[in-house]
Homo-oligomer: A and B are copies of this chain.
Amino acid sequence: MARLAGVSRSAVSRAFTPGASISPDTRAKVEAAAAELGYHVNHLARGLMRQQTGIVCLIVADIHTPYLSRLLESLSRSLQEAGKVVMVLNAGRASGNVEGALRQTLNYRADATVVLSGTPYRSIAQSCLDSGQRLVLLNRDDHLPGTVNLSVDNARAARTAATLFLRAGYRRLALVTSGIGTPSLTARRDCFLATAKEAGAEVAVWEGGATAYESGLQGGTSLFSSDEPPDAIFAVTDLLACGVMDAVRHRFRRRVPDDVGVIGFDDIEQAGWASYDLTTFAQPVADITEWTVRLVADGIVEEPQDRVFEASLVWRASVARSL
């Protein structure tokens, strides 16, 4: 390559390094040769010398899920636009775990890794930090020193949900959540329960299954099979909420929002579909993305700070308007 261009290896290196001091003339020669040979800088070799590879790893499970796939889309796009390249490490049950993914992260000398699902052990996370990685955790509540936590104000949203129901005149509240107690879901549950209690309202709780449509279907069915079914249900996730609504409507012929109010969380695309028209809280995907890029790609060095973003209420038609 250098030979064909008639210059030194250094020169070709400089030709592909933005801002390197090289004359337009030699650059042209290099570019011509590159075009002829189909030459592409080997970023792996480059990463070996510079102290960065340009790789940022995204550790995630349940990619097929509406919220996570949207976050993945947003993150991958923005990271890419910031000049990074995204490695996706699937940490689902069947496909290895968070630890294995974190190890890959080390093997490929990622500049940074962001954990969307699961919680890493302290020890391996520390290894990542030690290797110079930036580590950002999304929606975890454990705080590892040196990492950054980006999260959502679950407490406030859950409180709002309870308040909304009460104000609209619903009295027999219920909560549907999955059996997988991630920090986010637990926070939503606890705050909803606490707010209801303060207001003197009882809350029926259904907890089980994965965070999926089927669980919502089950939960809704179970709740409505009791002697005194609820008249308002906070489903801790839109997927659950869709299941709940379908149970309520198709299995029990109840109307939403007249007979029963429903609130979800995430604002997945389906929440806006006419069949659901679900009142919910929108995940601050843009904020999460923006800050992740800032932390991970822009090399902000100032003491990394945790952030809590608001999940904004999206008013739709699954809750009766206050009287």
Interface residues of A (CB under 8 A from B): 38, 40-45, 47-48, 53, 62-66, 69-70, 72-73, 76-77, 80-81, 85-90, 92, 94-96, 103-104, 106-109, 127, 130-131, 213, 217, 242-243, 245-247, 249-250, 269-270, 273-276
A279 CA to B81 CA, complexed, in Å: 39
Distance (whole angstroms) from the CB of A161 to the closest CB of chain B: 22
Cβ-defined contact, A88 with B76, below 8 A = yes
7 contacts between A and B (CB under 8 A): A40-B107, A40-B127, A65-B69, A77-B92, A86-B87, A86-B88, A246-B274
Copies in the complex: 2
Cβ-defined contact, B213 with A269, below 8 A = yes
A87, closest chain B residue (CB):
B87
A292 CA to B69 CA, complexed, in Å: 21
Residues of B within 8 A of A249 (CB): 274-275
Given A43-B107, A107-B43, the answer on whether A77 and B90 have CB atoms closer than 8 Å is: yes
Residues of B within 8 A of A64 (CB): 66, 69-70, 72-73, 269
Extra inter-chain contacts (11) besides given A40-B131, A44-B109, A85-B104, CB under 8 Å: A38-B131, A40-B106, A40-B107, A64-B269, A66-B66, A73-B90, A87-B87, A217-B274, A242-B273, A245-B275, A275-B275
Distance (whole angstroms) from the CB of A178 to the closest CB of chain B: 16
Residues of B within 8 A of A65 (CB): 69
Distance (whole angstroms) from the CB of A54 to the closest CB of chain B: 9
Cβ-defined contact, A108 with B90, below 8 A = no
Residues of B within 8 A of A245 (CB): 275
Given A63-B69, A64-B70, A275-B276, the answer on whether A88 and B90 have CB atoms closer than 8 Å is: no
Residues of B within 8 A of A45 (CB): 44, 48
Given A64-B72, A86-B88, the answer on whether A108 and B44 have CB atoms closer than 8 Å is: yes
**Most chain B CB atoms below 10 A, which of A70, A108, A276:** A108
Cβ-defined contact, A80 with B90, below 8 A = yes
Residues of B within 8 A of A95 (CB): 76-77, 80-81
Distance (whole angstroms) from the CB of A1 to the closest CB of chain B: 14
A72 CA to B88 CA, complexed, in Å: 10
A106 CA to B245 CA, complexed, in Å: 48
A39 CA to B80 CA, complexed, in Å: 29
Cβ-defined partner of A63 (8 Å) among B76, B85, B213: B76
Distance (whole angstroms) from the CB of A73 to the closest CB of chain B: 4
A95, closest chain B residue (CB):
B77
Cβ-defined contact, B63 with A53, below 8 A = no
Cβ-defined partner of A48 (8 Å) among B40, B44, B63: B44
